[in-house]
Amino acid sequence: MKVFSPSSFSFFISLLSIFGVRFTNANTSQPERDLADFILRNYSTNYRPVHDPRTTVYVQVLPTIYGIVDLDELRESITYMIWQQYTWTDEMLQWENRSNQTWPDLEFDKFELIYIPVSLIWVPDVVVFNVLEKKDIIDRNQVIAKVYKNGTITAEFPQVLDTRCTFDISEFPFDTQNCTMTYGSWSLPSNEIFVTTTVNELTDLSGLVLHNHPEWDVIAMSSNNRNAAYLEDASTNATGERFSELDITLTIQRKPAYYIYVLIVPTFVISLINTIGLFSTKRERDDKVTMGLTTLLTMAIILTIVTNEVPKSQLGLPLLGDYVLFEILISSAGIIVTVVIIFIHERALLHRRYPPAWLLCLCLTRNERLDSNNHDIADIAANYSNARSANNNNVNPMNEKHQEILDMLRMHLLRVEKHSESKRQRWILEDQWARVLMNVDLIMMILFIIGNVIGTLLIIFSK
C-alpha cells in the first residue's frame, strides 16, 4: 500500500472542499435544479447518449499529473497521482435552443453550464489498460461533472495509478525512460467510442505536470491513436471488432547527480589510488598485491550494489555496471603486471642476470657492470705459484717460512677481495634492477592512469 506525503494529503482535502462547494452550489441554486430536473427527465445512464445509433461518441482524455509518487525499476512500475479529465458530448443533456414545456417562464439559455453528479449521467467506460493498481482518491459517485448547454461534459477523476512501465537500463544512470498509459473503452468498439487527446498540441508541460520528482524530470508527453483488434475465437484465430486505443507516453529523464557522487566518483578515486599504490616504490611488492586484492573486493561490492538497483535484463549490465566492471579489469591488470614484475625481479636476482640492453635503454639507465674487473681465484693462485717457483733458488731456508706465511696472507687477502667484489657485483645488480623497475613502475602507472581516464570519459561522459 502506498503512503502519501503531507502535500498529497493537503491536495486530497482541497479536492474534497472544491467538490463539496460545487455540490453545495448546485443544490442551493433553484434554477439550476429546475434545469437539471428538466434535462434529466426520461434520461437513462445505461445507453450511449446519442439520437442516431451510428453516431460516434468522441471522448477526449487529458491527464494532469499531480506528481510521480514512486518509480520502481525492479518491479518495472510507475505510480502517479493523477487527475483524469474526460470530455465528451451528451446529446441528451443539451438545453441550448431547446423548448421548455414544463417551465415556460424560465429561460434556460442564460445558463452556460451546470454541475451534476456523475452518478446521474452516462459516463464512458474508458479505462487505463496497463494499470497494475488503481485507487480513487474520491469515490467515483461523488465526482461532480460540468455540463455545458451544448451537451459537452467534463469530468475529472483524481486517482492514484500504478501502471506497467518497461525500463531500458542500458544507459543507467544517464537513462531516459518512456512510460505509456493506454486508454480505451473496455466494451464498446471504435465506431461507438473513439478516444482522443490534445496532449500533442501542448508545448508547455507545466500545466500537465504540477510537481517534479526528486530523481526524475518529465521532459515530454506524446500520444498515439490506434485501432486494435483482439482475438475473439481461439479455435479459428478470428478477431472481433476493432477498438479505439490511445497511448499517452510520458518521457522521463533520470537525474544522475546522486549516482555520480556516490558511486562513479568513489569508484574512480579507489581505482586511481590503487593504481598509484601498486606502482609506488615506497612499499613492499607483497603489500601492493594485498592492496590490489582488497580493491578488487571493494569493486565487487560496488558492482553488487549497482546490480541490485536495476532490473535484470537480457541486454546485460547497465552503463554504470560496465564502468565498475571496467575499473575491476583495470585493477586486475595492475595486479597481474605487479606480479609479473615481482617474478622477473626475483628470478633475475637468483640467476644473477643483468637487465637487457634494450630495457636499460628504454628506462634510460646506465650499464654499470664490472665484468672487466673480475678475477678468478685459480688464476691468481697460479700466478703466485709461478712467482714462488721462480724465486725458490734465491730464497734461503731462514726466509722460506716467512715466504709461506706471506703467501697465505696474500691468498686470504685475495679471497676477501673476491668476496667484497662479489658483494659489490650483487649490490650493483640489485641497484640496476631497482632503477629499471622504478622506471617501469613509473611508466606503468602513467599508462594505467591515462587508460583509466580515457576509459572513464568514453564510458561515462560520452552519454
Task: State the fold for domain 6-255.
Answer: Acetylcholine Binding Protein; Chain: A, (2.70.170)
Enter the C-alpha cell of residue 81.
497521482
Most confident residue range from 152-156, 341-345, 376-380, 401-405: 152-156
Identify the pLDDT of residue 22.
Answer: 41
- pLDDT above 70 covers a percentage of the chain that reads 75
Region 137-147 average pLDDT: 92
Spatial separation of the C-alpha atoms in residues 224 and 250, rounded to whole Å: 12
**What's the pTM value of the predicted model, to 2 decimals?**
0.72
pLDDT 10s digits, 72-95:
888 889 999 999 999 999 999 988
Domain boundaries in the chain? 6-255, 257-382+408-463
pLDDT at residue 372 is higher than 60: no
Encode pLDDT of 411-444 as tens digits: 777 777 776 766 777 777 777 777 788 888 888 9
Question: Which has the higher per-residue pLDDT, 64 or 388?
Answer: 64
